[in-house]
Amino acid sequence: MAQIQPINFPFTGEATQLKVLILNFKTTASTCTTYNELLTEDGVMCASWNYTLTDKEFADWGEDNTLIETCVAKDKNITILTY
């Protein structure tokens, strides 16, 4: 889970965490989809969405999921502070 620059959501609070879950994919896949949540410090969900990696992002992905978190954050203009 990545710590992000706080984002204010009027009804749910201030999101400070980005949670990224990589959904199941076949071993022959050339891309995959993630399920993502923005959470407050207390774990309250402020927003959720899916993101599908490009073929290049998928090919560049190694053993470290920080690349995936970076791709998801970049798509929504979210600034990651720490991983």
Annotate 7-17 with b (16+ C-beta within 10 A) or e (fewer).
Answer: beeeeebebbb
Contact (CB, 8 A) for 34 and 53: yes
Quick one: average pLDDT of 35-63?
97
Quick one: average pLDDT of 46-73?
96
Phi, psi of 50 (to 5 degrees): -105, 155
The pLDDT of residue 25 is 96
Three-class HEC string of 46-57: EEEEEEECCHHH
DSSP state of 23: P
pLDDT band (50, 70, 90) for residue 16: very high
Quick one: average pLDDT of 44-57?
98
pLDDT band (50, 70, 90) for residue 81: very high
